[in-house]
Structure 1
Amino acid sequence: MEEYVGIPNDMGISFNVQPKMKALKIAERARDAILSGKFHQVCINLANGDMEGHTGDIKATVVACKVADEAVKMIIEATEKVEGVYVVTADHGNAEDMVKRDKSGQPLLDKDGNIQILTSHTLHPVPIAIGGRGLAPGVRFRKDLPNAGLANVAATVINLPGDYEPH
């Protein structure tokens, strides 16, 4: 009952040379799948911010994040058209803070006085956005989970549809 669609990478090209990667192609395929009415759920992975964050190239990371925003917009618009529900989140941060910092939050400098670039995953909380015209009236989200994590995201995704009856 699942269909997996993979869109091949541009082999042999560094991510910071092609920061848009295949985000728009992925979004187009996701949009088409959503609008087809064939699926109850479509799961999409846009890796731009993560992969570019690892390169340490801040300019390329900005491009990657902008194209990921365009892709998410396309996907949300399709979700709205079919009166669906969207959940947008990540498994960790990577592009939101690309500067190594000391314990007080100040940027660390190298021996030449240049800011040290952070290329590893961050430890910042990852936001989640849930919405869409298909969200049941009266849905309320818990505020009593100060240490919520990915397990809570999975449980939410499973519980969002409620007693779904296909049209």
Structure 2
Amino acid sequence: MLHFSGTGTALGIFNAELEKYVEIPSDSGITFNVQPKMKALEIGEKAKEAILSRKFDQIRVNIPNGDMVGHTGDIDATIMILDAVEQVGGIYLVTADHGNAEDMVKRDKKGEPIFAKDGKVQIQTSHTLQPVPVAIGGPGLTKGVKYRKDVPDGGLANVAATVMNLHGFLAPDDYETTLIEVD
């Protein structure tokens, strides 16, 4: 397994013989709205190299832009990683732990934008409570895999079992239900 972090937060290693941890240090002294790309391209390049090396069974990549910058995140780094997954016949799972980039405007109870005294829209900088989607795909995905209909309120707790299933393993009984099934 290869771990990446673009936020400077150590993700931790469980077994140093089986894992490699690569950190791309965050920019310092620059606010994210001034440098919205952050280190996304560097993270994307390292992830692409790791994927194309075919040395790892799983690669975990943290692209912080959607969280840290919201709508100004760099989609090119994500596309670069997904292209590499396609090239090696792999599988991807993309999600987040909370809402943020889907709506960066403060809203009233009717859902209308709230304006400041100067007439400008007020910016929403906190996390939202909106559901966060999960995208699963890639040429390595087993035929007939689909999202389960009996887990309509699935969330982050369901991702661990889902990743195990994508690797061909059954999740332990005490895990939350997987998000996928095979026809």
1:15 CA displacement: 1.2
Q: How many residues align?
A: 152
Give the structure 1 partner of residue 28 of structure 2.
11
1:97 CA displacement: 0.7
| Percent of aligned pairs sharing the same letter | 64
Match of 1:80 among 86, 98, 106: 86
Q: Give the partner amino acid of 2:86.
A: E
| 1:33-89, Cα deviation, whole Å (9 max, x unpaired) | 011111000000110121114xxxxxxx43x2xx2x211111111111111100111
**Unpaired runs of 5+ in structure 2?**
1-17, 170-183
Bigger helix fraction: 1
Rounded to whole Å, the distance in 1 between the matches of 2:44 and 2:116 is: 39
Bigger strand fraction: 2
Give me the CA root mean square deviation: 1.4
Give the structure 2 partner of residue 48 of structure 1.
65
Tell which has more relative contact order, 1 or 2 (C-alpha 8 A, sep 6+).
Answer: 1
1:22 CA displacement: 0.6
The reply to whether residue 114 of structure 1 matches residue 120 of structure 2 is yes
**Unpaired runs of 5+ in structure 1?**
54-60
SS at match of 1:4: strand
The reply to whether residue 159 of structure 1 matches residue 168 of structure 2 is no
TM-score, normalization: structure 2? 0.78
Match of 1:99 among 102, 105, 108: 105
Give the structure 1 partner of residue 50 of structure 2.
33
TM-score, normalization: structure 1? 0.85
